[in-house]
Structure 1
C-alpha cells in the first residue's frame, strides 16, 4: 500500500502511534530523532529519501571499496618504498601491523562504546583518521624527495635548469663508481640516505588508521544486520562484501598506474620500468585516496541512529508480541563491558570461529601484503605488472566468489552446520592450493654468479678480488647468460655508451668470449638483468591463484552469519570488536613480522651503507618458494581443525528461522497496517480501563 492510499484510508487526521512527524517519501514511517537523517543544520526531506537499506549498503560498500583500496595500494607500492628508503621486509612487516596494534589496544573498547551510541557517526569519526593515514603516507616523499639514486638515473640530473655537461659528469661518476677499480677512495662508499624517520612516519600512519578501520568493519556490518530482515541479510552482506572486494582491485590497479610514472614525474628517466632500479611515483595515489575517502565518510555519517523502516518494524513486533518481555539494553559502562566480554569468551561456537579465522588469516596474510613482491621475485615481472595482476585479476575472482556464496545462501537457506561444513571444505582447498605453489615456480630465475663459502654465497670471488665491490650499488649486468650483481662484480673496467642510450661493459675479468678460431677476446657484459621467460609458468600460477581466490571468498558470508547468529543480538557489536582484538593479537600483528623475517632469510644481495645493512635487492626464488608456501599452508590446515569444532558447536544455532521476528518477517504492508490499527485499538481500550477507578466504578 502506498503512502498516499494509506493516508486516504486512515483519514486526514490519522497519525502514527509513535513520534510526531511524518516523512512522505517512498514509504511513510514515523520520524523521531533516532530515525532522522543528517546532523545539525544538514537535515531535510531530501536526505531522508536515502534513509533505507539500499542506500546504506551501497555507501557502506563504497566506503569499504576505498578503504580496501588504500590498504592494497600500500601493499602494491611496498617494494618501491623499500627501495626508496632502504627498508628491509621485516621492518615493512612491522610497519604494516601498526593498524592492528591500535585495534589491539583500543579496538574492542571503542567498538563496545560505539555500538551503544550513534553508529554511523562513530564510523565517520573513525574514517577521518584513515584520511589522515593517507596524507601521512605521502608525507615522506614531500620531506625527503625522490632521492639521489633516482635523480642520478634521469636526464635532468644536476638541477632544474638542464646543464648537459653537469648531467654527463654526474652520470659518468655514477657509472664509473660501479666499475672494477685497482683502489677505492675513502668517499666511494654510499652514505645512508635519509634515516629511520620515513619508516617511523609510515608506522604512525598505520597506527592511526587502525582506529577507523576497526570502527568501520565492526560497527558498519552490525548496523546493517540490525536494520535488515534476517532473510535478506545474506544477500545484502554479500553485496556489500562484493563492492568492498573490488577495492583491492582498484588499489592494485592504481598502484600499477602510479608506478609506471617515475618517482619524479617531471623528470625524464634513462631506464625503463622493467629495470630493478626503477622507482615509481608511489606517493601520488595517497592524495587521491585521501580526498575521496573524506567525502564518502562524511556522507556515511549522515545516516540515522536506526533506519525508519527497521524502527517501524520493531515497534509493530513489540505490539504484536506484548506478552514477550523484552530485556532492556543496558547503558555503556566499564562493568557491563567486562560482563559482556566474559559472556562472549564463554561462547564456544564464537571462540572456535575466531580460532579458525586466526589461523586462516595468519597463513594468508603474507600473500595479501607481499604478493606483488612474491610475483616480482618468482616470475621476474615489473612492480607495475605485479600490482596490476594481483589486483585487477585475482581480487575480481574474490568479489565474484562472495556474490556466488551470498546468492546460494539466500536461495537455499542452509543450516548452520551446512555452512560450517562448507567452511571446512574451503579451508582444505586453500591448504592444498597454497602447497601447490611450490610446484609453480619459474626454473629460469638464475642466481648471480658467486662462490659458496661456509654455506653462504660470497660474490667477491677471485676474478673480482681486487675490484673493491663492497659498497657498489645493485646495478645488475648479464654476461654469457649469467647474471652479476654489478659491473664491478663481473670485473668490468670500462663501458661504452651508444647513441640510443644503451650501454655495454667491457674488459670484464670474470668471463671470456671465444671466437671460432679459438682466440680469446675481452668479455662483454650487457647492462640489466638476464632475461627470463617465465610467462608460461606465471599463467599457471595465476590460474591456481584465481581459483583459490574464488573458492575462499565463497565462505565469507557463511562465516559472518555464523559469527553473528551464535551470540545475542545485543552482544553483536561487542562480539565483532572482540573478534577484531583476537585477530589483531594472534594473526594480523605477528604474521607480517614472522613472514617478513622468513622472506629476509632468503635474501641473496643486501644493500650496504656506511651505517649498516639496507634493503634486500635480490632473493633466492627457489628457497622462498618452499619457505613461504609450506609454512602458510600449515597454518591454514590448523584453521581447518578449528572449523571442525565450529561444525560441532553450531548444531543449535539458527541462521534464518529466528522466532523473535514472528509474523512481520513475511508480512505485507497491508498486514502491517492491520496490526498497527489493531494495536492502536487495544491501546485505546487499555486507557479506558485505566480511567475506570477514577470514575468511581468498583
Structure 2
C-alpha cells in the first residue's frame, strides 16, 4: 500500500521537489541579479561624476568638480566669447577702411552669428541637452576658436593692402607726395576713381561670424541649464549673477585689447609715415584674433574636464521617449502652451529689439552726437557702462539670494525696469548739443567746389576762420597747404571760404574740425546711460530665472534653445539692420567706391543729421520697450503659482522619482 502510494504520488512528489529546488534557486538568484543591477547603476553614477576624458582623468581632478569651480570656468569662457565679439566691434572701423566696406554691409556681417543661431539653437538644445553637456559646451568653444582663426584669413590672403604699404618708409619711393597730385586739395583734375573693393573678404568675414553662432548656441543653451541642474536652487541666482559678472568683463577687455592692437600699424614690421590720428592709419586688427584663438582652445580644454553631473547631485535618468523630430515638436508645442514662457519671451523680444542699437551703436552715437574721439567713446561704453552693468547684476543677485522674491515680484520688477528704460531713452532726446546739430546745416557740395572734383576725396575736415567746418580742403576750394611755425597744417587760397566769411579775414583754414564743446551734454548723457545700464542689468537674473522655472526639467535645454532661435529671428537679426538703416537714413554726406553698385558703391557715411538721428532712434527704441512692458504685466498675472525657491517641494519630487526599487521578500 505504501509502495502504491509512493508510486501513485511519485510524479507529484518529484514535481514538488523540482519546484521547491527551482524556487529556491530563483529566490537565491534574484538578490544576486538585483545586486548586479545596483552595482552597474552605481558604476554608471560614478562614471557620470568622473572628471576628465581619455587619459586626462584621475582622482586628483575630482576636487575641482564643484559648482563654484564650474561657475568660474564657465564665466571665464563667457568672458572670452564676449571679448572676441567686442574685439570685432572695436576693429570694425578699421575693417571698413581696409576692405572699403560700408556700414550697412558691416551690420550684415555682424548678424551672421544670429542667423546660424536661428537654425541651430533649438535643435542643439534638444539633442545635445540630453548628452554630456560639458563636452558639448567645450565643442562650442572650439567652434568659436575656429571663428577667431577664420577672421585672420582675409589678412593672410590679401595682406596689408597697397594703400597702407605706400604710407611706410620702406615703400616711400612709390608714394607720390607732390602737392599737384594731392587729392585733398582743389586741383581741378578730372575725377580719379581709384578705390575698389571685393566681395571675397566680406564673404570670409560673414562665414566666420556664421559658424560662431553654432558655438554660442551650444555654450549659452547648455551652460545655463547645466548650472541650474547641478546646483542648489537657492544658490542659482547668486551663481548666475557671478557668471554674468565674469562675462561682462569681456567687453572691457575686448575694447582694450582692440585699442592695444590698433596702436600697431597693420604691418608692424614696417615704419609708417603717418601718425595714429591720421584718417588713413590702419592698425594691426588681425593680431588679436590669433591670441584669442589660443586662449579659447585652452578654455575649451578646461570645460571638457567637467563630469556629466557634478558630485553630490542626482543623476537624472534620461527620458524614456526616443529622441526624434516628432518628440522635439511635441516639446515645442508644450512650450507654446506655457503662457508664462510665451509672455516672458515676448517681453524680451520687444525690450531687446529696442535696446539692441545701444549695444551696437553707442560708440558711434557718442562720436556723432557729442563730438568725442573714438577712443573716448569706446572707453565710455566699455568701462563706465560695464561697471554699472556689473554692479547691477551682482547687487540684484545678492538681493535675490537673501530675500528670495516670488515669481510675481520678478515680473513686476521687469515691467518697472522697462518703464524706467523708456523714461531714460526719452531723456536722451533732450540731451543734445547745439554745436553738433548746427554742423550739419552746412552743405558739403556747392557750385564753388564743383570744379574741384571732390566726390571721391576722403573725409578730412578743416576749420575755416569763421568757425565753419568743411568736409575737406577740396570742398573748401583750397589749392595749397603748408605747415605753420607750430607744426599745424594750414590750407590757403580757399576760394569757397570767401562766400561765407568777412572779406577782411584771410582765406585760410586749419586741419581738423572746428572745436565744439559738448562736454557738459556728454557727461549728462553718460550719467543717464550708467543709470540705465545698472537698472537694465538688474533684470537679467530675474528674467532668466523665470525662463528656467516656468518649464519642466526635461524641457529646460530646448526651452532656452528655442527662445534663442526666436530672439534671433525677431530681434538679433532685424534690429541691427533696422537701426543701421535708420543711421543711414539720417546721413547727409556719403562717400563713394569705384567699380561697384548698390551698398558697396555707397561707401561710408561722413556726416549725420544729429538732431534728426537723436529723435528718431530714441523714440522708436522707447516705443518698442514700452510695448514690452505690457507682456511683463501678463507674466505677472500668470506667474502667481510659479515656484522659484520652493526647495522642499522640489526635493520631495526628486526623491520620489529617484527612489530605488525595493526587493520584496
Residue 664 of structure 1 deviates from its aligned partner by: 11
Distance of 2:505 and 2:408 partners within structure 1: 74
- The answer on 1:179 being equivalent to 2:185 is yes
Higher fraction of strand: 1
Could you report, residue by residue, the CA deviation over 1:573-614 in whole angstroms, capped at 9, with x for unpaired residues?
Answer: 010011001100100011111111111111122112222321
Q: Once the two structures are superposed, what CA deviation does each residue of 1:9-39 show, in whole Å capped at 9, x if it has no partner? A: xxxxxx99965899xxxxxx99622111111
Residue 582, structure 1, aligned to residue 586, structure 2: no
C-alpha distance 341-514 of structure 1, shift in aligned 2 (>3 A): closer
Give yes or no for contact 1:75–1:368 (8 Å, CA) kept in 2: no
Question: Residues 270 and 501 of structure 1 are in contact (CA less than 8 Å); yes or no, is this contact kept in structure 2?
Answer: no
Partner residue, 2:446 = 461
C-alpha distance after superposition, 1:504-531 (max 9, x if no partner): 111000124999xx97465111122222
Q: Distance in 2 between matches of 1:631 and 1:265?
A: 44
Tell me the equivalent position of 2:598. Answer: none
Matches for 1:195-274 after TM superposition, within 5 Å: 195-269=198-272, 271-274=274-277
Greater fraction helix:
2
**391, 396, 416: which one pairs with 1:425?**
416
Residue 144 (structure 1) aligned with residue 158 (structure 2): yes
Contact 1:180 1:469 in 2 (8 A): yes
Which of residues 426, 429, 436 in structure 1 aligns to 2:427? 436
Does the CA-based 8 Å contact 2:107-2:576 persist in structure 1? yes
Partner of 2:632 in structure 1? Answer: 643
User: Equivalents in 2 of 1:191, 1:588: separation in Å?
Assistant: 32
Indicate whether 1:304 and 2:307 are aligned: yes
Tell me the SS of whatever aligns to 2:564: helix
- Deviation of 1:352 after TM superposition, in Å, equals 0.5
**1:126 equivalent in alignment to 2:140:** yes
Task: Name the CA distance, whole Å, in 1 between partners of 2:489 and 2:318.
Answer: 79
Partner of residue 601, structure 1:
585
Match of 1:655 among 644, 654, 661: 644
The answer to whether 1:66 aligns with 2:80 is: yes
Structure 1 Cα separation of the partners of residues 364 and 152 of structure 2: 21
The separation in 1 between residues aligned to 2:287 and 2:308, in whole angstroms, is: 36
Partner of 2:343, secondary structure, is helix
Alignment pair present for 1:476 and 2:461:
yes
Asked if the contact 2:120/2:217 (under 8 Å) is kept, the reply is no
What aligned pairs does 1:31-430 form with structure 2 within 5 A after superposition? 32-151=46-165, 154-156=167-169, 159=171, 163=172, 166=173, 170-172=176-178, 176-184=182-190, 188-192=192-196, 194-269=197-272, 271-311=274-314, 328-430=319-421
**Counterpart in 1 of 2:26?**
none
CA deviation map 1:241-295 (0-9, x unaligned): 1111221222122223333334343445555544544433332222222211110
Alignment check: 8 A CA contact 1:75 1:370 kept: no
Partner of residue 322, structure 1: none
Change (3 A) 1:593 1:253: same
In structure 2, relative to structure 1, the CA distance for the partners of 1:84 and 1:437 (3 Å cut) is farther
Task: Report the secondary structure of 1:505's partner residue.
Answer: strand
Structure 2, unmatched stretches of 5+, are: 1-34, 596-600
Q: Distance in 2 between matches of 1:144 and 1:621?
A: 36
Name the SS of the counterpart of 2:508 in structure 1: strand
Q: Measure how far apart 1:493 and its partner are.
A: 0.9
CA 1:30 to 1:136, structure 2 compared with 1: closer, same or farther past 3 Å? Answer: closer
**Residue matched to 1:617:** 606
Q: Does 1:627 align with 2:607?
A: no
Distance in 2 (alpha carbons) for counterparts of 1:114 and 1:578: 13
1:493: which partner in 2?
479
In 2, Cα distance between equivalents of 1:42 and 1:643: 47
1:357/1:639 contact within 8 Å kept? yes
Q: 2:535 matched to 1:551?
A: yes
What is the distance in 2 between the residues matched to 1:174 and 1:656? 76
**Structure 1 543/449 Cα, relative in aligned 2: closer, same or farther at 3 Å?**
closer
Query: Contact (CA 8 Å) 1:514, 1:520: kept in 2 or not?
Result: no
Of 437-446 and 407-416, more deviation after overlay is shown by 437-446
Which whole-Å deviations, capped at 9, do the CAs of 1:56-82 have from their partners, x for residues lacking one?
111001101111111122222223322
CA contact (8 A) 1:448 1:484 kept: no
State the alpha-carbon separation in 2 of the partners of residues 449 and 601 from structure 1. 14
Q: Per-residue deviation at 1:660?
A: 4.2
Which stretch of structure 1 is more off in the superposition, 433-442 or 585-594?
433-442
- Give the secondary structure class of the aligned counterpart of 1:618: strand
Q: CA RMSD in A?
A: 2.9
Cα separation, 1, equivalents of 2:244 and 2:539: 12
Normalization by structure 2: what TM-score? Answer: 0.87
Output one character per residue of 1:329-380: Cα deviation in whole Å (capped at 9) or x when no partner: 5332212111111101111110101101111111111111122211222222
Deviation at 1:387, TM superposition (A): 1.7
Aligned to 2:24: none
Structure 2 SS opposite 1:375: helix
Q: Distance in 2 between matches of 1:573 and 1:422?
A: 25
TM normalised by structure 1 equals 0.83
Give, in whole Å, the separation in 2 of the partners of 1:409 and 1:136: 41
Q: Structure 1 stretches of 5 or more lacking a match?
A: 1-14, 23-28, 315-325, 452-456, 666-671, 691-698
Where do 1:13-28 residues align within 5 Å? Answer: none
Distance change (3 Å), C-alpha of 1:555 and 1:182: closer
Residues 545-594 of structure 1, C-alpha deviation per residue, up to 9 Å, x if partnerless? 11111111111111111111111111100100110011001000111111
Tell me if the contact between 1:19 and 1:31 (Cα under 8 Å) persists in the aligned partners. no
In structure 2, distance between residues paired with 1:450 and 1:437: 21
